[in-house]
């Protein structure tokens, strides 16, 4: 487990909610990001790997008390996290 920092964070206004998009150059199993976000209505992540060379597929993440924890199918892949804040 290591602390990771996004290369970019974008916040998009969706009316009564905001979409936060955080891009990471590399995440591995149980890496964490201290987002500073209080709560999310929904969150998800996707790895940005080459499906032709990946040995495992998929990506998961959890959100708890402002911290995002990543569970990619393969270590050291680029990843994008999405969170909806109401």
CA angle 65, 22, 53 (to 5 degrees): 115
**What are the residues facing 43 on neighbouring strands?**
83
Rounded Cα–Cα distance for residues 9 and 20 (Å)? 7
Domains with residue ranges and CATH for the chain: 8-85 (2.60.40.3940)
State the pLDDT at residue 73. Answer: 82
pLDDT digits 0-9 by tens, 41-79? 999 999 877 667 766 667 899 999 999 999 988 888 899
Identify the three-state secondary structure at position 38: coil
The Cα diameter of the chain in Å comes to: 40
Predicted pLDDT at 54: 65
pLDDT digits (tens, 9 = 90+) for 4-37: 999 999 999 999 999 999 999 999 999 999 999 9
> Any idea what DSSP says for residue 17?
S
Q: Is the pLDDT of residue 80 over 90?
A: yes
């Amino acid at each position: 487990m290591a602390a990771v920092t996004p290369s970019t964070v974008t916040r998009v206004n969706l009316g009564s909610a905001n979409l936060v998009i955080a891009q990471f150059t590399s995440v591995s199993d149980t890496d964490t990001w201290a987002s500073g976000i209080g709560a999310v209505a929904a969150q998800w992540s996707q790895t940005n790997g080459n499906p032709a060379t990946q040995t495992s597929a998929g990506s998961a993440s959890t959100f708890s008390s402002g911290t995002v924890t990543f569970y990619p199918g393969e270590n050291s892949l680029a990843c994008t996290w999405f969170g909806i804040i109401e």
